[in-house]
Amino acid sequence: MKTALVTGASKGIGREVALQLAVKGFQVFVCARNTDAGTETARAILSRGGKAAFLEMDVANPGVVSEAARNLAKHTDHLDVLINNAAIKLDGDAEMLAMSEAVFQETLQTNTMGPWRVCKAFSALLARSKAPRIINVSSGGGQLADGAGGWAPAYCISKTALNAVTSQLAVAMPNAAINSVCPGWVRTDMGGNEAPRSVQQGADTIVWLASEAPQSLTGKFLRDRQIIPW
Active site residues: 155
133's CB contacts (< 8 A; 6+ apart) are 80, 81, 82, 176, 177, 178, 209, 210, 215
Can you name the residues that pair with 54 across neighbouring β-strands?
30
C-beta of residue 225 within 8 angstroms of C-beta of residue 205: yes
Whether the Cβ atoms of residue 144 and residue 190 lie closer than 8 Å to each other: no
- Residue 101: count other Cβ atoms within 10 Å of its Cβ: 8
Alpha-carbon distance of 180 to 182, in angstroms, equals 7
CA 26 vs CA 14, 123, 137, 173: distances in Å: 15, 19, 19, 22
Please give the Cα distance from 177 to 215 (Å, whole number): 6
Report the SS3 class of residue 197: strand
Using DSSP, state whether 189 is helix, strand or coil: coil
The radius of gyration computed from the CA coordinates of the chain, to the nearest angstrom, equals: 16
